[in-house]
Every structure is written in structure tokens, then in C-alpha cells.
């Protein structure tokens, strides 16, 4: 560790991983409720389980991004963080707000929660992924603004690099697009249209900038490849991201009441969305091939390569599967969307967090050469368990989606939603089993943190 203030990243990483365990746990509970409708009902209805599942995901990714920034910004800027104290304060504020919100979801009926949290003053609740009560949303703004100020000040006062510029661009746009969360139009169609400005432009534009910056940083560190070379790749990747991703928002506008021209624009632009992810694979693997140093932390590079591959599969391949308007006519709003959502969030954002944690955590724990061989072997096992689990889960959901489409939307002998779902139960059982494998993989990953250091490394 070059700068002591990088230490503030540690609680962010740990908390992100704890939230990930919770996120997967609630996913498993949902998988069971898919099969047994009485499970946990009426104690925790499905919508509450789902809210906890998706909100934990979003918050854990934000914690991961913050941890990553606090770790890499001082090193890139070649100076201490502007205010480590502020970073610690915002950690506790964010953690407390997050926990309070989840408890609110679990113990207060949602309609009552809207009343308790002044939703009538400024209605913001009840939209997918943006379910948070008003005080939580304001808290998120406060935390994100202080985070951005902290990072920006550090960058301004220190060395400027492409990595920090790209990261900051991502952060500023992310904050700007979140403001849409405070406005719910009375017209459902305008509401749906604008809602994507937060949701799509986070996931398929601003977050990808942040992802690119973190990936570039780790690759610089573990491969020792010349920075100029890596910068060029980073620019190319994010150029493709911006060109395809921004207009690619159009693939959400096909069938929600927006004009016809989105059928063309959305299809064409988003057909190019796999490109940046394909470049990312070329990037990670060619940097690994041309590496100038043999870093002892082999797992960091493994995760980096894994991120590129899994993000390409989840966001690129599974996105392309249903992004053309004529195909989307049949796939829109089915389990196929869920399949794509699961693999892309995991492949791009959960894996980049594993990448930076695997690189930075050993250093933060006083192991500059990475964890011991034994710990890394266990970590590699967890890598495969989680990846195979997520692929199996995604293939199950894809199968479920195709069955659902054939039942409800193709031919003349149509089956209604509930009967179709009942006939898919076997596939949902397989999905649950793969979910369990992912969870077991995460537990194995946690266990790798507690493998005792070998003697020669301590010496």
C-alpha cells in the first residue's frame, strides 16, 4: 500500500461482500417461493423479497465502486485521499441508511412505509429498483455527492491519468441521472420512458465507464504493461460503450408506448452493444499475454479475465439474443429478460468487484504479494463454483423464458400465465439448485480469506 488513506477502502469492500451474501440469500428465498407459493407467505410476500434482492444488489455495487475508487484514486493521483475522515463518515451513513431501509422493507408493509416516510410530499416510491423511501433517496444523494467531492478533490490536487478521468466522468453522469428518481410523471408512459434514464444509463453507460477504469487499473498493476497502451484500449472500449449504449437505451422503448422510430434506432444501436465487451476480452487477454511482470497474485488476473468473458456473455451475448425489435416482441417481459439481467449484472459488476477486492484486499491486509498459494487455490475453486452456478442459473432461466414464450405467445393453442408457470416448475427447481451452487461458491470465497498464511511467506 503506497498511501495510508487507501485503507478506507477496506470497510467498503467488506460490507459490499456481506451485502452480496444477503443478496444471494434473498435470491434463493425467491427461487423457493417460485416453486412453493406458501413459502414465507404472508410473512414476506414476493415483492418484498425481490425489493430486498435488487436493492441489495444496487447498494453493494455502489459500495464496491466506492471501495475501488478510494483504493485506486490515491495511487493514480499519487497523493493521499482529500479527506479520509469524510470517506469513513459516509461509509457509516450509507451502511446505516441501507440497513434501516432493508429492515423497513421487511417489517413494514410497503403501503404503510410510503405513509411513514413522507412519500405524499414528494412521491418517488413504487417504481422498479427505485423503491427506496424518500429519506433513503436523499441519503443516497448526500453520500454520493460527498463521495464524488472527495474523489474529485483528490484528482484535482494530484496527478491526472486517463483512469481517473474516465472514472470521474462515470461518477458525474451517474449522479446526474439519479435525479430522475425524484420525479414520477402522472402519465405512466412518460414515467416509464424517463425511468430508463436512471436505470439503463446507469447500467449500460455510466457504470461501464467505472467498470472500464477499475479493470484498466488492475491490469496496469498485475501485468506491468505500459500505461499508454492500456489507456488506448480503455478509450476504445468506452468509445464503443458510449456510441452503442446511449442510443441502445432505445431497446427499452419498443413496446412501452414510445414512437416507432425507436424500433429501428434501438435495434441498430444495441446490436453493437456486445462490441465493447468483446474488446474487453481482447484487452484482458492480450494484456495478460504481453505482461511484463509475473505478479504473485494470480487470482487478480484470473478475475479480470473472468470479468471480461462473463460480461461479454451476460451483457453481450444474452443481451443481443433479444435486443432486435421483432425478437423482443416475443421475449419482452419474460424470464429471458431475467436470464440476461442475472448474467450481465454478475459478469460485469459483481466480477469487477471480485477483481478489485482480490487485487487490493491482500495489500490492505499487509500481503503485497497476494494471498498464499493455498488461499489462492481455494479462491480459484470459488471462482469456478460461482461462474458455473451463474451460467447454470442463466441457462435455466433462458429455458424457462423460451417455454413461457411458446406457451403464451406462439401458435393458436395458447396457455395462460399461471398454467404455463406451473409447467415450468422443473426448470425452476434446476435454477434453485444452481443458485445454491453460487451461494456455496461465495461461502468458499469467504473461506479463502481465513486460510492461514504459510510460514515462508511470513518470514
The angle formed by the CA atoms of residues 331, 333 and 337, to the nearest 5 degrees, is 70
Helical ranges in 36-129 per DSSP H: 46-77, 84-107, 110-116
Smaller CB separation from other proteins, 299 or 424: 424
Cell of 92: 457509516
Spatial distance between the Cα atoms of 451 and 89, rounded to a whole number of angstroms: 31
Smaller CB separation from other proteins, 5 or 244: 244
- With a CB cutoff of 8 Å and minimum separation 6, the contacts of 45 are none
Spatial distance between the Cα atoms of 60 and 88, rounded to a whole number of angstroms: 16
Smaller CB separation from other proteins, 260 or 456: 260
Give the three-state DSSP class for 71: helix
Least distance CB 182 / other proteins (angstroms): 14
Spatial distance between the Cα atoms of 30 and 86, rounded to a whole number of angstroms: 37
Least distance CB 410 / other proteins (angstroms): 8
Spatial distance between the Cα atoms of 71 and 386, rounded to a whole number of angstroms: 25
Spatial distance between the Cα atoms of 360 and 356, rounded to a whole number of angstroms: 6
Q: Are 225 and 292 in contact (CB under 8 A)?
A: yes
Smaller CB separation from other proteins, 370 or 435: 435
Smaller CB separation from other proteins, 230 or 364: 230
Spatial distance between the Cα atoms of 91 and 270, rounded to a whole number of angstroms: 36
Number of H helices, E strands in the chain: 20, 0
Q: Is 374 exposed, middle or buried (0-12, 13-18, 19+ CB in 10 A)?
A: middle
Smaller CB separation from other proteins, 228 or 456: 228
Smaller CB separation from other proteins, 127 or 367: 127
Least distance CB 254 / other proteins (angstroms): 6
Spatial distance between the Cα atoms of 298 and 304, rounded to a whole number of angstroms: 10
Residue with cell 452493444: 273
Q: Are 196 and 166 in contact (CB under 8 A)?
A: no
Least distance CB 259 / other proteins (angstroms): 5
CA-closest candidate to residue 287, choices 273, 300, 275, 274: 300
Smaller CB separation from other proteins, 123 or 388: 123
Smaller CB separation from other proteins, 172 or 235: 235
Cell of 356: 478489485
Residues written for the chain: 459
- With a CB cutoff of 8 Å and minimum separation 6, the contacts of 101 are 55, 132, 133, 136
Smaller CB separation from other proteins, 255 or 384: 255
Q: Is the peptide bond before 42 cis (omega within 30 degrees of 0)?
A: yes
Cell of 100: 434501516
Spatial distance between the Cα atoms of 30 and 234, rounded to a whole number of angstroms: 38
Give the three-state DSSP class for 260: coil
Least distance CB 418 / other proteins (angstroms): 7
Smaller CB separation from other proteins, 137 or 332: 332
Amino acid at each position: 500500500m503506497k498511501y495510508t488513506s487507501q485503507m478506507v477502502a477496506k470497510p467498503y469492500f467488506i460490507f459490499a461482500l456481506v451485502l452480496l451474501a444477503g443478496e444471494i440469500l434473498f435470491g434463493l428465498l425467491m427461487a423457493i417461493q417460485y416453486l412453493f407459493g406458501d413459502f414465507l407467505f404472508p410473512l414476506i410476500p414476493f415483492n418484498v423479497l425481490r425489493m430486498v434482492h435488487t436493492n441489495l444488489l444496487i447498494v453493494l455495487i455502489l459500495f464496491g465502486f466506492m471501495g475501488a475508487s478510494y483504493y485506486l484514486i490515491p495511487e493514480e493521483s499519487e497523493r493521499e485521499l482529500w479527506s479520509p475522515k469524510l470517506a469513513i463518515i459516509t461509509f457509516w451513513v450509507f451502511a446505516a441508511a441501507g440497513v434501516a431501509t432493508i429492515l423497513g422493507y421487511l417489517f413494514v408493509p410497503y403501503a404503510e412505509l410510503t405513509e411513514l416516510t413522507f412519500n405524499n410530499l414528494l412521491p418517488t416510491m413504487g417504481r422498479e429498483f427505485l423503491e427506496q423511501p424518500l429519506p433513503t433517496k436523499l441519503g443516497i444523494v448526500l453520500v454520493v455527492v460527498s463521495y464524488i467531492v472527495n474523489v474529485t478533490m483528490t484528482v484535482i490536487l494530484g496527478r491526472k491519468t486517463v483512469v481517473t478521468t474516465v472514472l470521474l466522468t462515470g461518477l458525474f453522469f451517474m449522479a446526474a441521472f439519479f435525479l430522475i428518481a425524484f420525479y414520477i410523471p402522472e402519465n405512466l408512459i412518460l414515467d416509464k420512458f424517463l425511468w430508463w434514464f436512471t436505470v439503463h444509463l446507469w447500467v449500460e453507460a455510466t457504470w461501464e465507464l467505472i467498470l472500464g477504469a477499475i479493470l484498466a487499473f488492475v491490469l496496469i498493476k498485475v501485468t506491468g504493461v505500459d500505461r499508454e497502451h492500456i489507456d488506448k484500449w480503455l478509450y476504445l472500449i468506452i468509445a464503443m460503450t458510449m456510441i452503442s449504449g446511449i442510443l441502445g437505451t432505445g431497446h427499452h422503448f419498443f413496446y412501452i408506448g414510445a414512437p416507432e422510430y425507436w424500433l429501428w434506432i434501438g435495434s441498430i444501436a444495441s446490436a453493437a452493444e456486445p462490441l465493447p465487451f468483446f474488446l474487453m476480452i481482447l484487452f484482458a487477454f492480450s494484456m495478460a499475454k504481453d505482461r511484463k511482470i509475473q505478479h504473485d497474485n494470480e487470482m487478480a488476473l484470473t478475475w479480470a479475465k473472468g470479468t471480461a468473458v462473463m460480461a461479454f456473455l451476460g451483457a453481450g451475448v444474452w443481451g443481443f439474443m433479444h435486443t432486435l425489435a421483432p425478437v423482443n416482441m416475443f421475449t419482452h417481459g419474460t424470464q429471458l429478460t431475467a436470464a440476461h439481467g442475472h448474467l450481465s449484472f454478475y459478469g460485469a459488476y459483481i466480477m469487477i468487484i471480485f477483481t478489485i477486492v482480490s487485487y487490493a484486499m491482500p495489500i490492505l491486509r499487509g500481503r503485497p504479494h497476494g494471498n498464499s498459494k493455498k488461499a489462492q487455490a481455494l479462491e480459484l475453486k470459488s471462482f469456478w463454483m460461482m461462474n458455473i452456478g451463474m451460467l447454470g442459473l442463466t441457462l435455466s432461466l433462458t429455458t424457462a423464458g423460451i417455454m413461457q414464450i411458446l406457451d403464451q405467445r406462439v401458435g393458436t393453442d395458447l396457455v395462460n400465465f399461471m398454467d404455463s408457470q406451473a409447467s415450468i416448475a422443473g426448470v425452476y427447481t434446476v435454477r434453485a439448485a444452481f443458485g445454491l451452487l453460487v451461494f456455496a461458491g461465495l461461502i468458499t470465497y469467504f473461506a479463502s480469506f481465513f486460510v492461514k498464511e504459510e510460514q515462508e511467506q511470513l518470514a
